[in-house]
Amino acid sequence: MHEASEDPQLHDLVPFEVGDKVFAVFADLVDGTAEAKVPVPLPNTPPAVLGVICVRGRMLTVIDPIAILNGDTFGWPESLPFVIALRGDEQLALAAQRCRDTITIAASDLQPATRTNDDGFESAALGITVHGGEEITVFRVDNLFAAAVRRKERRRRRL
């Protein structure tokens, strides 16, 4: 007699848009969202770091999702439409043009991304899923800051 298989592993994602791209992070890693935040620029930071903001009494470093993936910066206005505050010791937030409602996917729906990017460093993308006919890039929150900083280090000239 065969036992019924376990229910598939489900994940809640918080999707958001930047330009024509849709990204997401796992919902349990999101502390909240905020609107109309103006990041204070930091000196000598890579293009992926937009600056710092204060959300609920926490200082967060805001990351540009487009720059994390391909090194190109998105043309952000002075006041960011949305930020997604993330949990964790790194105190990060992701910039977004628009936040969406939480979605649920099966773990099997997440196709793993290439573990390294073009410059040989570990990618910030965990994988890709398709939901409602749209391709969504799911980020590895534990690698966002490292991915942003590595892009700058690669381009920095040694004296």
**25 DSSP β-pair partners:** 14
Q: Where are the beta strands (DSSP E) in 1-152?
A: 10-18, 21-26, 30-37, 49-55, 58-63, 80-86, 92-96, 98-99, 103-106, 111-112, 125-131, 134-139
pLDDT confidence of residue 118: 55
Task: Return mean pLDDT, the chain.
Answer: 86
Q: Which range among 1-5, 113-117, 128-132 has the greatest average pLDDT?
A: 128-132
**This prediction's pTM:** 0.85
pLDDT band at 31 (very low <50, low <70, confident <90, very high): very high
Phi, psi angle pair for 109, to nearest 5°:
-80, -10
pLDDT tens digits for range 57-108: 999 999 999 998 887 888 999 999 999 999 988 999 999 999 999 999 999 9
